[in-house]
Amino acid sequence: MRKVVYFFSLFFLFQSSLLAYSSNPKDFINELVNDAINKLSNKNLNKEQKKIFIEEIAEENVDINALGLYTLGEIRKSSTKDDISNYQISFKKYFLKSLTSRLTDYSSSKFEVVGEDKKSANYTIINSTIIPEDGLEIKIDWRVYTKNPEKPLIRDLIVEGLSLARTQKEEFSSILSSNNNDIKVLINKLEEFSNN
């Protein structure tokens, strides 16, 4: 009986995270991040449970496909459909593993949205600050894709002025350029990372 209750409480816990957040970019980020902070700092959840939560929340709210294409750079224009498709699969695995590795040890933080800048119909930058329990205030800007106004998606995080997507793109670009722009080499490296 205990196990059944535990299962259902977990089920509802994760279900609640899949409820749609607000479609207003500012509220979307505020609700999503505060929800994530609450779950990740919950000491009753173990690493595996946190991992599942992070993967679900990322798949639902981050534009992983677009991020994959962006980080691939110009080579996406000359690659075959099959290669792009294989790359997207490997990139998603890589992205989720890297994200969970960064966030499962997360401790409590104070988060606040401090502003927004609507760049175009497709993009809004949300400015926020996060204060970890053991550190100084960190400025984080969120690039939110708003082409579908009903379903905003995160495309990039700019931490203290450093774009995570750009860093990733330049890392991949270096791997490609030192391997004759062979996308298969990059796919293998992503697979290696995910399987380790």
Partner 1 sequence: MQLLKKIKLTLTTFAIILIFTVNANSVEECFERTSRAIFKFNMAVDDIVLEPLAKGYNKLPSPIKEGTSNFTSNIGTLLSIPNNVFQGNFKQLGHSVGSFAINSTVGIFGFLNPAEKIGLKPTKEDVGQTLGSYGIGPGCYFVLPILGPATARDAVGLLADTFVDPFAHVTIREKEIFNSSGNALDYYTVKGTTAVDFRADNDKNFQSLEKNSIDLYSSLKSIYLQDRENKINNSIEDKDEWGNLDN
- Considering only 98, 104, 108, 181, the residue that binds partner 1 (CB under 8 A) is 98
| C-alpha to C-alpha distance for 80 and 183, rounded to whole angstroms | 10
Whole-number minimum distance, CB 104 to partner 1, in Å?
11
- Considering only 8, 16, 18, 102, the residue that binds partner 1 (CB under 8 A) is 102
Question: Contact, 3 vs 74, CB < 8 A?
Answer: no
* x/- map, 117-156, partner 1, by CB under 8 A: --x--xx-x---------xx----x-x---x-------xx
Residue number, 17 or 50, with CB nearest to partner 1: 50
Q: Burial-class residue 102 by CB neighbours within 10 Å (0-12, 13-18, 19+).
A: exposed
Q: Burial-class residue 98 by CB neighbours within 10 Å (0-12, 13-18, 19+).
A: middle
What's phi and psi for 151, nearest 5 deg? -135, 80
* Residues of this chain that bind partner 1 (CB under 8 A): 66, 69-70, 98, 101-102, 119, 122-123, 125, 135-136, 141, 143, 147, 155-156, 158, 161-163, 166-167, 170-175, 189-190, 193
